[in-house]
Amino acid sequence: MRSLRIVLSVMIFGVSIACQKQEFDEKSYLAGIEEWHKNRITSLTQADSWLSLEGLFWLETGENRFGSAGDNDLIFPAAMPAHIGRFLFKDSLVTVEIDPRVTVHMGDKPVREASLRPDVSGTPDILKWETYSWYVIKREDRYGIRLKNSASRVLKDFKGIKRFPVDLKWRVRARLVPHESSKALSVPNVLGQIVEEPSPGKLVFTLEGREFSLDPIAAEGDKEYFIIFGDNTNGESTYGAGRFLTAPLVNEQGVTWIDFNRAYNPPCVFTPYATCPLPPSQNKLDIAIAAGEKVWGEH
């Protein structure tokens, strides 16, 4: 999931400098929120964004034939060739063999046979045919093929994401209460897996006169916290499976700011083919956080 965190951090462009100034500048802050949202929308309209996903196919050990015909093991969209080739999966290694009647590129060259690096490598090998591209993903002990289409109808029809009005009450000061010993945060995902992630402690804050806390994810060397949280708006005005946040690392006094105005939807709100993490039980807040992105689509 670390690769997913890296992608998501790039997509949201971190936190604005205005949020970290000792002397708070509300005008700069509001401009920073608008810039963040603009960049968020720009990232989602890229040709390979989450909106371009059109398939996720899990591999079985051995041969996995793929193409649009019904006799394949992995049935790709109807617009693609009937028989494109086969994946061979054994001992955590995925290789591909392309049918000589079909031209598929890897990089800028046609490919006939190749070993494929998965997404967790940081540089997956991407195969392309016309507007379609696909690559290997690894989720714990499962390997699959993620398919994207730069001409996706969802991508073409995207009109943006509705948000709650920006309200400074949702920008809260938080202090880090470190764990007494190193602790892994157990994070469930939509596949039913539990992924252990590093967590430095609890971020404790006050909202509407009540104390709350969130367990962030941060590994050594990370420049910000990644937070998966739920609240009482989920399933109504916001996505039912929670939302994401990032926050700056704490300063020398152990203090940071959590800005719920920057809460954003996980990829699963846009496509059924994402493999999103879900809020750990301790990150489900008993309060309605009417801030940040609202639900998108028909959820």
How far apart are the C-alpha atoms of 7 and 120, rounded to whole Å?
11
Amino acid identity at 106: M
- Residues with Cβ within 8 Å of 143's Cβ and at least 6 positions away in sequence, in order, are 58, 59, 89, 92, 94, 118, 136, 137
234-276 tens-digit pLDDT: 999 999 999 999 999 999 999 999 999 999 999 999 999 999 9
- Residues with Cβ within 8 Å of 140's Cβ and at least 6 positions away in sequence, in order, are 191, 193, 195
Residue 171: pLDDT over 70: yes
The position carrying tokens 């086969």 is 86
DSSP state, residue 204: E
CATH architecture label of 50-157: Sandwich (2.60)
10-61 tens-digit pLDDT: 444 444 433 444 467 999 999 999 999 999 999 999 999 999 999 999 999 9
pTM comes to: 0.88
Domain residue extents for the chain: 2-45+160-283, 50-157
